[in-house]
Amino acid sequence: MWLILLSLVAGIILGAANIIADSWFKHLDKGITITLFVMLVALGAQIGINAELLANLPLLGWRAAVIAVLSIGGSVGALWLVACRWTAYAEREEA
């Protein structure tokens, strides 16, 4: 948690300080994408390496999947409503 926060704050300070040459930002985007895939492979491996988790998947997976899908559906619906109100408010302010 703290490592993540420190990394973000350090990155923001470095970015805001404007000391990195523009040519480096192309490499930065590529670097972020590569790191994302390294993390996804490691995340998958963490699931695959856990024999107990894999054995329990059919037993408890159905319940877990139903709750995950309904939670996502509820949150997308609620945030969509907020986004609609937000847009309407912004349009009223502009008018």
What gap in Å lies between CA 35 and CA 41, rounded to an integer?
A: 10
By beta-carbon proximity to another protein, the closer residue of 82 and 92 is 82
**Neighbouring C-alpha atoms within 13 Å toward the C-beta of 73:** 6
Residues 6+ apart with CB under 8 A from 49: none
- Per CB under 8 A, contacts with another protein among 30-49 are 31-33, 35-49
Residues 6+ apart with CB under 8 A from 48: 54
Contact 51, 57 (CB under 8 A): no
Tell me how far, at minimum, the Cβ of 93 lies from another protein, in Å: 11
Among 23, 76, 91, 92, indicate the residue that binds another protein (CB under 8 A). 76
Length of the chain, in residues: 95
83 belongs to the binding site for another protein (CB under 8 A): yes
Among 21, 51, 91, 94, indicate the residue that binds another protein (CB under 8 A). 51
Positions touching another protein (CB under 8 A) are: 1, 3-4, 7-18, 20, 25, 28-29, 31-33, 35-51, 53-54, 56-57, 60-61, 63-83, 86
